[in-house]
Amino acid sequence: MTKQTISILTGAGISAESGLQTFRDSNGLWHNQDITKVASPQGWEDNPEFVLEFYNDRRRQLHEVSPNIAHRALVELEHHFHVNIITQNVDDLHERAGSKQVTHLHGELFKARSTNDTSYIIDWKADLLLGDCDPKGAQLRPHVVWFGEAVPEIDTAITRCQEADIFIIIGTSLQVYPAAGLIDHLPSDCRIYAVDPNLEISTDSRVIAIPKKATVGVPELVKKLIS
């Protein structure tokens, strides 16, 4: 029997339960911080050292956390389905849990890229400092999509959605574009599940809401789909 394809969109909610602070939390890492100073091309131009230290703090925190039961539950689906994960998160918790097909819409915290050559991207798990350069001498920056920048992986994500028999939304309110528009690219007969304690999803009649936190709702849904 041909395996069905499950595409999964994850947001900050799934990583928050591993202990990662998010900029949408009232007590999060971005609290009281002007977003444009740390996540925009202008902020980088104005004060690159400040931006680098902000992401160094986030990178250090990522070293201290681990995948949670929701991340691990999604790996179980791979024994029964073709699974594609599309994440808005810049952490590597899906990969560390064992997921094999992960598309990062907003970049990856454990990578750096050249400010002059967007194709020069390397693994980077230590602090990133002024003076850390590519082979041609251009400063390296966080490999993170900032506000106002294009989302290079959006076409890949759209393709993953078009292939889906089942679509699962986890830990995101679908309020941030272009990710919020992915639901419009699903096949008409695609089953849609949404796991989030604070759902603010459109009135799409196909959406089956599971108003629970990821570590509770995801294992329950995975068990249901496998059975």
Among 71, 104, 106, 143, which one carries the catalytic annotation? 106
- Cα–Cα distance measured from residue 123 to residue 71, given in angstroms and rounded to the nearest whole number: 22
**CA–CA separation, 26 vs 92, rounded Å?**
23
What are the phi and psi torsion angles at 176 (to 5°)? -110, 125
> What values do phi and psi take at 78, rounded to 5?
-65, -20
CB atoms within 10 A of CB 28: 15
Rounded-to-integer distance, Cα 38 and Cα 32, Å: 12
106 is catalytic: yes
Q: Point out the residues that are catalytic.
A: 106
